[in-house]
Structure 1
Amino acid sequence: MKRRHFLQAAGLAAAATAPLPAAAQTRDGKAQTEKATGPLVWRLVSDFPDALDIPRAGAETLATALADITDGAFRIEIAKSETAKGGTQAAIALDAAREGRAQIGYTSTALYADRDPVFAIGAGLPFGPNARQFNAWLLHQHGLELLNDSYRRHGVRLLPGGDTGALTGGWFRREINGLADIAGLRASVPGLGGAMLARFGAVPQPVHPAGLAAALQQSRIDAALWSGPYDDEKLRLHKAAPFYYYPGWQGTSQLSYLVNAQAWDALPRRHQAALTAAAVRARDSVQTAYDARNAPAIKRLVASGAKLKPMPQAVLTEFLKATESLAGAIGADNADFRTLYDSVRIFRTDAYLWWQVAEYTYDNFMIRARAQG
């Protein structure tokens, strides 16, 4: 498999802002002449509800950056959120991009893990790497190429669109004191988390994030996990369940731009470079926004009555064992998943060696110093 490093924003921006020739070469060398009728306009469909303003701002940053880099020659129109039958929002971005109803789907691929578990690697993977480690794997350990090799059969190509950073462990209508409390729990957990919890007797009940609060309030589910405090507050989950657990055993969650593969291949190279550079700018804006807003949000949630609790260590240990067993079972029948999971797992293990030496020890010292000051 040919390895190509992910293009960096600075170089891409410089290339994308160079004078545009009348004709460009496509990947197979055929000339593609620009139409004189106006700019190239792509449509973006998002799976994120309107209440989640950080992902919405990420898509807007992508559109603005792309227009700036190309001097308006390549633009993105963001479609309004769509609702499924019955008035609830559904996950549609992957199919919209795959079928060509939009050129870009903006989503958390965790919403599609039931279709193919490879979609859980970027989002919804229990005990995956943290955000910085995941980005390092994507850009420097061929992770992006591995994912795109797997996504090819779904007709899409991935451009990373941001990261939530560390997740929390979800909202529960009752306390979790041990594994026995998981049995019978109706839980909405994206990605492979639901299948992992099912090994302890939980009953997975997938619910789109826009409907989580209502599902909790109406007792259709007993637990819900989506993101971190800022998003959870926007979704009003604190109004629907009292117990808020940490740490987030789902690791981190990437936001993804899924580009129609044929539309991508038809782009001139400079437009491919410009779109990639714009996605880098959007990715950085999303990650930093979550880092800036989660701390004030957790303060507000606790002040409003949320009961912030640590998940028992014994429970987390069993969750990790169950995840490794589940991944092994999936990998036995899905070679792409096995390749991706082994790559992520090995890199995560190696990366935590450095975290143990420097990152964790520094953070631990500063946390204790903060408590004393």
Structure 2
Amino acid sequence: MDRRKFLQSSTVGALGVAGTAGLAAPAIAQSQPKIQWRCTSSFPKSLDTIYGGAEDLAKYVREATDGNFDIQVFAAGEIVPGLQAADAVTGNTVQMCHTASYYYVGKDPTYALGATVPFGLNARGLNAWLYYGEGIDKLNEFFATQDLVYMPGGNTGTQMGGWFRKEINTVADLNGLKMRIAGLAGQVMEKVGVVPQQIAGGDIYPSLEKGVIDAAEWIGPYDDEKLGFVKVAPYYYYPGWWEGSLALCFFFNQSEFENLPENYKSLLRTASRAANVEMLAEYDYKNPQAIQRLVQSGAQLRPFSQEILQACWNASQEVYAEINGQNAAFKSIYDSMMAFRAETYLWQQIAEYSFDTFMMIKQREGALAMQSGGQ
């Protein structure tokens, strides 16, 4: 091709593209209107991993819209107390919140299914059910009756069983024990003698220190270390059978969400997925170092006895039977989740469990320790 003709055609082509871009700019501007929202969190800023889920979503949305969709995040207590975050959304005080839906089981036990339930799913199983088992859709059928839109917004993985001021060896040791515990787990624990207390994260330490409560569950090593529980309740139990995983969530005011442009709605769905993955990965990275530091600081690790686990399992089945007999919305979602639970644990014990078990044996043998150099 003649060089001069090539340059001329290239210039014309470039101008054509530039012209097209210029014509498209107003349409892009119209599809990205300037919107400012407020998001209240149920968590203090000091708990950077769990609080950070809301900051992550706000960051992704802000960057994707060149700042046109701006979400300002407020820590627990800055607008409303942590346990009133969802109320602030339905009451139009804020457009959205970041919370754990089981904080609101007093409104309806169905709220718990958007977070976690005793002896439910682990993090991988819960995400599989939410995204591919129509879990999100089923939950939103219920949350629509509450003027809310639900999206997963992080996961802690399987939690620890909490901090106790004294050793707990038998079911009898639970009788009369005052424990901070949230969601349906409180109802289960009540059946085995525990006196459940619902206390916001920032108030747990002073309650333990003063003896107002005898035990408290929170999340796991990284966050528990920050709250200093090891100083006042040295016995650290596992597993947190009531939280085989915990899905945090974003609640959006239904009217505010529906009034958004479609691309902003889609962006919130995508950003919430990203925040969901980020949180679990961060916990998986930070918890291994944190549990070692806690043990060095005096934490005494203790497994719940099989007697206690079985008694709590039995109590949980009683609680579910009672709720299912009275609450059709709960039963519909619960049945879907539990049907998948049977399938996922059937599969996970084949490859996943076998691989993990072998690797854990190697870890105990010291075979996974890094070897320096070589001959």
Letter in 2 for 1:217: E
Following superposition, the deviation at residue 122 of structure 1 comes to 2.8
Which residue is 2:270 aligned to? 277
Following superposition, the deviation at residue 351 of structure 1 comes to 0.3
Q: What SS does the aligned partner of 2:166 have?
A: coil
CA distance in 2, matches of 1:346, 1:80: 37
Which residue is 2:98 aligned to? 106
Is the 1:43–1:102 contact (alpha carbons within 8 Å) kept by the matching residues of 2?
A: yes
CA distance in 2, matches of 1:340, 1:236: 37
Which residue is 2:362 aligned to? 369
Following superposition, the deviation at residue 356 of structure 1 comes to 0.8
Corresponding position: 1:201 with 2:193: yes
Letter in 2 for 1:65: Y
Corresponding position: 1:56 with 2:51: yes
Following superposition, the deviation at residue 23 of structure 1 comes to 5.0
Please list the CA deviations of residues 135-162 of structure 1 after superposition, one character each: whole Å capped at 9, or x if unmatched: 0000111000111111112111111111
Which residue is 1:246 aligned to? 238
Are the structure 2 counterparts of residues 84 and 22 from structure 1 closer, same or farther at C-alpha, using a change threshold of 3 Å? Answer: closer
Which residue is 1:69 aligned to? 64
Following superposition, the deviation at residue 22 of structure 1 comes to 5.7
Following superposition, the deviation at residue 44 of structure 1 comes to 0.4
Corresponding position: 1:325 with 2:298: no
Residue identity (%): 39
Following superposition, the deviation at residue 334 of structure 1 comes to 0.8
Which residue is 2:217 aligned to? 225
Which has the larger displacement, 118-127 or 216-225? Answer: 118-127
Please list the CA deviations of residues 97-154 of structure 1 after superposition, one character each: whole Å capped at 9, or x if unmatched: 1111111111011211222111211324111100000000001110001111111121
Corresponding position: 1:162 with 2:157: no
So what's the TM-score if we normalise by structure 1? Answer: 0.88
CA distance in 1, matches of 2:75, 2:337: 35
Letter in 2 for 1:208: A
Following superposition, the deviation at residue 321 of structure 1 comes to 1.4
Letter in 2 for 1:57: G
Which residue is 1:344 aligned to? 337
- RMSD, aligned α-carbons: 1.7
Is the 1:183–1:201 contact (alpha carbons within 8 Å) kept by the matching residues of 2?
A: yes
Q: Out of 115, 118, 143, which is 2:107 matched to? A: 115
Kindly indicate whether structure 1 or structure 2 has the higher relative contact order, using CA contacts under 8 Å at least 6 residues apart. 1
Following superposition, the deviation at residue 217 of structure 1 comes to 0.8
Q: Out of 304, 315, 325, which is 2:308 matched to? A: 315
Which residue is 2:261 aligned to? 268
Structure 1: give runs of 5+ residues left out of the alignment: 1-17, 25-33
Q: Which aligned runs of 4 or more in structure 1 are off by greater than 3 angstroms?
A: 18-24
Aligned length: 341
More helix by share: 2
Which residue is 1:7 aligned to? none
Letter in 2 for 1:59: A
Following superposition, the deviation at residue 240 of structure 1 comes to 2.0
Q: What SS does the aligned partner of 1:305 have?
A: coil
Letter in 1 for 2:52: A
